[in-house]
Amino acid sequence: MHWMAKLVEAFSYRHTVAAGEAAGLKLITRSGDNNFARGTYEQPVQDAVVENLSPGDVFYDIGANIGFFSLVAAQRVGVRGRVYAFEPVLGNATAIVRNAKLNGIDKIEVFREAVGATTGRGQLLLARHIGGAVLASAGAPPDMRGRIEVDVIALDDVIVRRNLQPPTLVKIDVEGAEIDVLRGMTGTLRMHHPNVIYEIDDATRSGLERKAGDIAAFMAAAGYRLKPLPASYPDNAWHVAHVLARPHRA
């Protein structure tokens, strides 16, 4: 076992997911949200992922964290499908690989890079929360604990350069860099028309609404219609929203 995999496992907790779309799967949570193990993590997003994937489809997990949604998607797309997980935090990316192996899943390909508007290099601001890292271009996390330099890729570029299968569904959870991810996949939206699930979050309601408006305008210009998902965190002081975007032709 690679030394990083050993380290991740040593400082992690292994669970069998109790409920939800991942019920019965083994999961290394890295001391993350207890709702991962319960299977109740962002249930409306779980539902949307499953409802918008079929056997043979291709799922892109942008900001994959420990791979919870990658595992859910892998079960749904079956032996003919594919899952691409993008996660720049090394410990999280290693946990995705370990979680896939624990469950005998070989269709998840992990990319240890951040996704942005352009391909190059960038500063990733690390957070104490395992899912809170963000590119510096999107602002600092409230619990920042350091920074590292990482490779950044635009989805339009990586699909061509690495000959990836185009997405059926893209899930974006990148702590404020959502609009950059979308700008970097303009060609993909135009050519392949994937459904998109994205998270928006902010400390204030006004900040959330501003981000939501910017993304809504971008997606409308790209030919998409939006459907807000039920709240995953209705009682949380931090404002979080999830949106399903579908191309008008769908």
pLDDT digits (tens, 9 = 90+) for 142-176: 766 778 889 999 999 999 999 999 999 999 999 87
- C-beta of residue 200 within 8 angstroms of C-beta of residue 178: yes
pLDDT classification of 34: cutoffs 50, 70, 90: confident
Is 89 within the bounds of a domain?
yes
Is 23 within the bounds of a domain?
no
CATH number of 74's domain: 3.40.50.150
Residue 15 has pLDDT above 50, yes or no: yes
Is 12 within the bounds of a domain?
no
pLDDT classification of 19: cutoffs 50, 70, 90: very high
Is 118 within the bounds of a domain?
yes
Q: Find the Cα–Cα–Cα–Cα dihedral 205, 208, 214, 215, rounded to 10°.
A: -140
| Radius of gyration of the chain, Cα coordinates, nearest whole angstrom | 17
Which pLDDT value is given to residue 250? 54
pLDDT tens, residue by residue, 39-54: 999 999 999 999 999 9
Is 20 within the bounds of a domain?
no
Phi-psi category of residue 238: left, alpha or beta, with phi > 0 → left and psi -120 to 50 → alpha? beta
Which pLDDT value is given to residue 11? 45
Q: What's the total number of domains in the chain?
A: 1
Which pLDDT value is given to residue 10? 46
86 bridge partner residues: 62, 111
- C-beta of residue 140 within 8 angstroms of C-beta of residue 133: no
Is 29 within the bounds of a domain?
no
The mean predicted confidence, pLDDT, of the chain is: 90
Is 5 within the bounds of a domain?
no
- The mean pLDDT of 109-131, rounded to a whole number, is 86
Is 150 within the bounds of a domain?
yes
Structural domain of 225:
41-247
d(CA 136, CA 126): 10
